[in-house]
């Protein structure tokens, strides 16, 4: 029955029937609208049930004690169970119902007093005792009887109730399940229940102020205490045993970690020591290489933890964050506690070879902060070095605290679950099972009801079934002042004026989708709320109904008032920067409630579209960012600002800035809405992106400042102290030097004289030109080490306002001179100068000689920290310059070409991502000619292709093993032949055709008529549109390049032989390159560079920001490692390759490679889902 009462469209009113007595007459009193959970009512009804079988009315005992005629103290158990105090007076029954907040009615009046005149006397007496109404509508009463009873009720100003008095379907006259009640009487009855109960609880029967004390003792002893004991024991175990043991193990794990890391770094020293003993390096070279390699090793979540090296003296050999200590004596160096830490390191190594030391040191790369640290150190006996690394105790404690909090939260959750389980075991019974079943049924019905509301409403919302109010959300209840129970008893006519109801119904009957009216809704307190009401028809479980959407007109003003301060802070937007104003509901995804025209325009919502059908999060590329912003706003209750990307279906990119504040009347109001100011900042974002790209391009041009000065030394010119000035001038002129070092008898440099000194200090003052040079020299000599970088030399010159600086070796002996004028010009190793010199070369040999300087430039860029994409662009630009110049030299030798042509580069050079290990991939496209000229052109361009490819090989670019070169007739064709090639590759995508397509699709023109290349690319795109079946085949070929298994790095190998345990970096990068090529082809992206392709795909929202960032980071990491390996091979005087032995990779590098391959596997899954249906 309870489940049936919870069905949609069924309203309920609590009711009870109590038998009482009035002057010896048995009277049945009906109670309606009371609180069924009222403790006093429950207690007295329970007493009636206990005494019913004994045929007594023990309820009198307790009821009399709540009246003024009896004592106010509660009855004892003995008194309550005596059941011998006599019948229950009717005035006490009425008082009990009033006490519980209900209304009292005389049930079936004519059954109580058949005589109408006597009945009127009885009604008047009961009215005086506080009775509120009579049951005038009863199944056995005919119309005449009902009319007489209704007149009696009107005479005494009583409410009217209706009832069936149902007992059992088999009982005559008491088997009716329902009875109709006139609407006017029902509304009077309902409104009477909604008003406060009468305070006239009978003469001299005031309601008691002290409620009966609940009986909690048995519950606490039997349920609460065992539960608390179990939970306390569990939590005590967590804090007393598990967490202390965990902290101990965590610290031990951290100590083990730094020991293993130090051992790994120590093995690098051992490796170079072995190679030095085998004669590959001198001791100085081996130590230098080992020091440099360890200097850049990093680990930890921030990548800032490091290794350091001292010797046994102790002196600092290398410290990455304290370079000022390198080479210094550390004997007296102490930490803030006075501990001579480096002396302790050396003593520990002498005694135990290795061990742990605690001390205080600067916080990672922050010299202003110090923290406690524990390091593991290990001696390297062959070189007398001590190497170590450490953990900051603050880091360890922070991690322990974080995990401890997690454990504590988990223990609390487990404790709560244990408590619920114990309560469940203690209280399980059939009654509980029946209640649980009813709750499940009710939950199902309410879920259905809730879904209907959510689909249609974000403001005030109500659901009506068959004209009755069945449900309302909290917003509407608060707006009108009703409780849920009270609202369930209302009709639509109770909420709105009749004319507004009529207009809504006329709209629905006329077939309007969602008729809307403006109306003042009736509040419970009699006030009115101006609203806009929209009615939407629904069908719920076969019942016809409506959803009312109620929008408070007053809230629009409140919203403007809330947004106005934000507009003042942001400045009033100009016409070309639209400002959108939104109000969204305080839900997880932000249901739209209000939006001005600018906000609709920014979000792409038409003026006639319904806002409540949308969520703010659905308009953005990353919906979770909107959810995070709204959650932060709800947590902090202060303004929150975010800059996010809008999702556009047309592929255009839009960036908006959102500033949100909570919308509430006071700080105590419950948060229901957020007001948001939205500004379109797309153009500003594009400008910032262009600025960042320009900075990245300038970065390469400035990296020459990080090259060592040893590459720019001028020959050193010296002379003794007593050399005449005239002879010094002659010496400077003969040696073409602008400065001379003055040396003492022992050979030490004691001064310097420049040509400017000769002019200003001798000639301008008309002094004797034969005077000794020491009289006009500048002393002391400003010097820099030969290991210094260019920018350090320039800083020294600027600091001392000089134009020359001497360069000295490690012993302090001058080895050369640097000139400010030459350093401020781009050096001969700069990419721009190298490109210019190649373009001005007059012979193939000169081109090749200039190209040989490329590895040194790449090494300098890599050491200077340049990004891999900039380095590959430098390499490609120089390769382009070589190709362009060689084509020009070939044209000079062969004569003018017979037709327009274009020399294109393919593969890695076409993508502008060449490395130092590369071969040729090129082709020639020439225009179509008449048949009589075709053979002449073919012969000419065949000779041109052969000549250029042979010269490229001479310049250091190996022949392509697959023959993809312009010297191959298959790759030197007219435009029409190339179109035929692509048509065949696209329409018949066999493995060989797909490989050739992949190579040629990355084409880029470097010389000649670029319109031929552009025309061919346009033809490719058009053909692809006609053959969409090519994409799945091309996607399958891309998936053939699988990343190595991420779980076992040892398996990143080529099986067997000498190539076992090696990683081919070129093959490892193929999946990323193929991914970018595939999506660029599918979405007509014209860029050829892999990173540029990924950037464009992200700007068009084809890739999410997260996916784009992960792929680019993976690509950059692999390319950086590849270039680093190439440069290391050159420094070891070996031919660089793309194959890296796993033994040279540090554990940190191996971990980063595994993470990179995880991202590669993810993007290949995306290919599978996007092109192959998830297969």
Nearest CA to 98 out of 201, 205, 247 is that of 201
Q: Is CATH 3.30.70.380 what the domain over 867-1172 is classified as, yes or no?
A: no
Cα radius of gyration (the chain): 46
What are the residue ranges in the chain where pLDDT is below 70? 1-10, 48-86, 167-175, 194-224, 227, 364-365, 419, 422-458, 510-514, 540-543, 553-578, 637, 648-653, 664-671, 689-707, 824-833, 864-865, 1043-1060, 1173-1175
Q: 778: which strand partners?
A: 752
Distances (CA, A) of 335 to 9, 338, 344, 358: 79, 5, 12, 11
Which superfamily is assigned to 708-826 in CATH?
A: CBS-domain (3.10.580.10)
Residue linked to tokens 């262009």: 690
Strand locations in 118-220 (E): 133-137, 159-162
pLDDT value at residue 456: 42
CB-CB contact of 1115 with 1091 (8 Å) = yes
d(CA 324, CA 562): 56
Which superfamily is assigned to 573-680 in CATH?
A: PAS domain (3.30.450.20)
Task: Please name the residues in contact with 203: beta carbons below 8 A apart, sequence gap of 6 or more.
Answer: 91, 128, 129
- Report the 10 Å Cβ neighbour count for 745: 8
d(CA 36, CA 956): 96
pLDDT value at residue 667: 45
Report residue 1084: phi and psi, to 5°: 55, 45
Structure tokens belonging to residue 1027: 């053959």
- Report the 10 Å Cβ neighbour count for 386: 24
Q: 754: which strand partners?
A: 739
Strands across the sheet with 673-680, in order?
592-595, 579-585, 673-680, 654-663, 640-646
Domain 708-826 and domain 867-1172, same fold? Reply is: no
Distances (CA, A) of 125 to 23, 146, 203: 11, 21, 11
Half-sphere exposure of 289 (CA within 13 A, CB side): 21
Residue linked to tokens 């509407």: 476
d(CA 396, CA 257): 12
Say how many residues make up the chain: 1175
pLDDT value at residue 518: 80
CA torsion, ordered 581, 586, 588, 591, to nearest 10 deg: -50
Helix (H, G, I), strand (E, B) or coil at 630: helix
CB-CB contact of 582 with 605 (8 Å) = no
Residue 704 region, left (φ>0) first, then alpha (ψ -120 to 50), else beta?
alpha
Q: DSSP for 429-476?
A: -HHHHHHHHHHHHHHHHHHHHHHHHHHH-SSEEEEEETTEEEEE-HHH
CATH number, span 241-401: 3.30.450.20
CATH number, span 2-214: 3.20.20.140
Nearest CA to 457 out of 322, 551, 568 is that of 551
Half-sphere exposure of 1082 (CA within 13 A, CB side): 21
**What residue ranges do the domains of the chain occupy?**
2-214, 241-401, 439-553, 573-680, 708-826, 867-1172
Helix and strand element counts for the chain (H, E): 42, 32
Helix (H) or strand (E) run with residue 544 in it: strand 543-552
pLDDT value at residue 1145: 82
Pick the CATH number of 439-553 from 3.30.450.20, 3.20.20.140, 1.20.1440.230, 3.90.1150.10: 3.30.450.20
The pTM assigned to this predicted structure is 0.39
pLDDT value at residue 665: 45
């Amino acid at each position: 029955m309870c489940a049936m009462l919870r069905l949609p469209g069924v309203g309920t009113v609590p009711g009870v029937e109590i038998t009482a007595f009035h002057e010896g007459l048995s009277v049945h009193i009906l109670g309606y609208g009371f609180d069924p959970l009222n403790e006093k009512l429950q207690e007295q009804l329970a007493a009636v049930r206990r005494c019913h079988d004994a045929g007594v009315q023990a309820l009198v005992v307790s009821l009399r004690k709540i009246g003024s005629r009896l004592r106010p103290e509660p009855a004892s158990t003995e008194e309550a169970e005596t059941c011998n105090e006599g019948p229950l007076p009717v005035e006490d029954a009425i008082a009990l119902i009033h006490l519980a907040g209900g209304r009292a009615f005389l049930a079936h009046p004519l059954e109580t007093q058949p005589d109408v005149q006597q009945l009127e006397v009885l009604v008047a007496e009961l009215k005086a005792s506080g009775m509120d109404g009579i049951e005038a509508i009863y199944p056995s009463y005919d119309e005449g009887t009902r009319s007489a009873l209704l007149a009696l009720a009107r005479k005494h100003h009583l409410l009217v109730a209706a009832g069936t008095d149902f007992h059992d379907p088999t009982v005559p006259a008491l088997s009716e399940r329902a009875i109709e009640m006139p609407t006017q009487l029902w509304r009077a009855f309902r409104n009477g229940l909604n008003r406060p109960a009468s305070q006239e609880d009978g003469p001299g029967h005031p309601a008691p102020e002290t409620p009966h004390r609940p009986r909690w003792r048995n519950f606490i002893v039997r349920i609460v205490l065992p539960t608390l004991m179990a939970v306390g024991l569990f939590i005590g175990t967590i804090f007393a045993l598990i967490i202390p043991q965990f902290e101990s193990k965590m610290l031990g794990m951290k100590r083990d970690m730094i020991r293993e890391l130090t051992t790994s770094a120590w093995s690098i020293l051992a490796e170079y020591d072995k190679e030095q003993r085998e004669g590959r390096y001198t001791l100085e070279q081996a130590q230098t290489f080992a020091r440099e390699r360890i200097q850049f090793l990093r680990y930890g979540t921030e990548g800032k933890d490091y290794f350091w090296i001292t010797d046994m003296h102790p002196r600092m050999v290398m410290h990455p964050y304290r370079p000022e200590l390198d080479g210094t004596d550390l004997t007296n160096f102490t930490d803030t506690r006075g501990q001579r830490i480096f002396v302790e390191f050396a003593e520990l190594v002498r005694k135990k070879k290795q061990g742990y030391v605690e001390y205080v040191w600067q916080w990672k790369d922050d010299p202003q902060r110090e923290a406690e640290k524990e390091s593991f150190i290990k001696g390297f006996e062959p070189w007398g070095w001590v190497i170590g690394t450490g953990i900051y105790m603050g880091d360890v404690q922070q991690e322990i605290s974080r995990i401890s909090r997690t454990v504590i939260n988990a223990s609390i959750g487990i404790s709560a679950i244990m408590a619920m389980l114990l309560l469940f075991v203690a209280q399980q019974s059939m009654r509980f099972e029946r209640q649980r079943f009813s709750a499940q049924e009710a939950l199902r019905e309410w879920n259905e009801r809730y879904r209907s509301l959510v689909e249609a409403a974000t403001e005030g919302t109500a659901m009506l079934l068959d004209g009755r109010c069945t449900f309302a959300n909290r917003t509407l209840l608060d707006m009108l002042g009703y409780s849920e129970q009270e609202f369930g008893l209302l009709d639509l006519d109770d909420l709105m004026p009749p004319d507004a109801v009529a207009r809504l119904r006329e709209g629905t009957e006329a077939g309007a989708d969602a008729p809307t009216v403006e109306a003042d809704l009736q509040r419970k307190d009699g006030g009115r709320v101006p609203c806009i009401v929209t009615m939407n028809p629904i069908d719920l479980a076969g019942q016809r109904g409506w959803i009312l959407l109620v929008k408070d007109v007053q809230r629009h003003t409140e919203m403007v008032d809330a947004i106005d301060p934000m507009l003042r802070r942001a400045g009033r937007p100009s016409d070309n920067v639209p400002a959108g104003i939104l109000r969204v509901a305080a839900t997880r995804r932000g249901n739209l409630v209000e939006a001005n025209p600018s906000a609709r325009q920014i979000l792409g919502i038409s003026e006639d579209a319904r806002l409540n059908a949308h969520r703010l999060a659905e308009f953005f590329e990353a919906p979770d960012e909107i959810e995070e912003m709204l959650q932060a706003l709800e947590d902090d209750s202060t303004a929150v600002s975010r800059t996010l990307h809008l999702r556009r279906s047309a592929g255009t990119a839009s960036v908006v800035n959102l500033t949100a504040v909570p919308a509430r009347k006071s700080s105590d109001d419950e948060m229901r809405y957020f007001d948001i100011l939205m500004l379109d900042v797309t153009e500003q974002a594009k400008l910032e992106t262009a600025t960042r790209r320009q900075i990245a391009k300038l970065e390469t041009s400035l990296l020459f400042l990080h090259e060592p000065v040893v590459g720019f030394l001028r020959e050193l010119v010296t002379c003794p102290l007593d050399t005449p000035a005239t002879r010094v001038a002659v010496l400077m002129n003969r040696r073409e030097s602008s400065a001379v070092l003055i040396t003492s008898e022992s050979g030490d440099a004691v001064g310097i004289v420049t040509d400017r000194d000769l002019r200003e200090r001798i000639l301008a003052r008309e002094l004797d030109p034969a005077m000794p040079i020491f009289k006009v020299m500048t002393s002391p000599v400003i010097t820099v080490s030969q290991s210094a970088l260019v920018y350090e030399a320039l800083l020294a010159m600027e600091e001392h306002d000089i134009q020359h600086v001497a360069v000295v070796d490690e012993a302090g002996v001058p080895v050369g001179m640097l000139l400010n004028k030459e350093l401020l010009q781009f050096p001969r190793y700069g990419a721009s100068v190298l490109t210019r010199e190649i373009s001005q070369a007059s012979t193939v040999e000169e081109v090749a000689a200039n190209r040989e300087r490329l590895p040194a430039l790449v090494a300098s860029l890599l050491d200077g920290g340049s990004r891999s994409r900039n380095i590959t662009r430098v390499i490609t630009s120089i390769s382009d310059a070589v190709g362009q110049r060689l084509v020009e030299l070939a044209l000079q030798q062969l004569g003018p070409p017979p037709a327009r042509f274009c020399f294109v580069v393919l593969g890695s050079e076409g993508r502008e991502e060449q490395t130092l290990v590369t071969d040729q991939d090129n082709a020639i496209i020439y225009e179509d000619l008449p048949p009589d000229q075709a053979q002449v052109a073919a012969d000419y361009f065949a000779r041109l292709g052969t000549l250029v490819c042979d010269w490229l090989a001479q310049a250091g670019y190996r022949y392509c093993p697959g023959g993809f070169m312009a010297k191959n007739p298959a790759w030197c064709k007219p435009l029409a032949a190339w179109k035929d090639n692509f048509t065949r590759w696209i329409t018949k995508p066999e493995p060989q055709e797909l490989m050739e397509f992949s190579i040629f699709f990355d084409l880029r023109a470097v010389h000649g008529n670029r319109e031929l290349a552009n025309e061919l690319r346009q033809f490719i795109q058009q053909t692809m549109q006609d053959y969409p079946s090519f994409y799945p085949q091309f996607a399958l070929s891309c998936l053939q390049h699988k990343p190595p298994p991420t779980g076992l790095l040892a398996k990143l190998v080529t099986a067997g032989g000498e190539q076992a345990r090696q990683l081919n970096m070129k093959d490892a990068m193929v999946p990323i390159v193929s991914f970018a090529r595939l999506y660029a082809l599918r979405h007509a992206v014209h860029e050829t560079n892999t990173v540029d392709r990924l950037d464009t795909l992200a700007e068009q929202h084809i890739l999410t920001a997260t996916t784009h960032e992960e792929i680019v980071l993976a690509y950059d990491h692999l390319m950086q490692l590849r270039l680093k390996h190439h440069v290391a091979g050159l420094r070891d005087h070996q031919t660089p390759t793309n194959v890296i032995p796993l033994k040279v990779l540090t554990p940190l590098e191996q971990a980063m490679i595994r993470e990179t391959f995880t991202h590669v596997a993810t993007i290949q899954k995306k290919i599978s889902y996007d092109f192959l249906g998830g297969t």
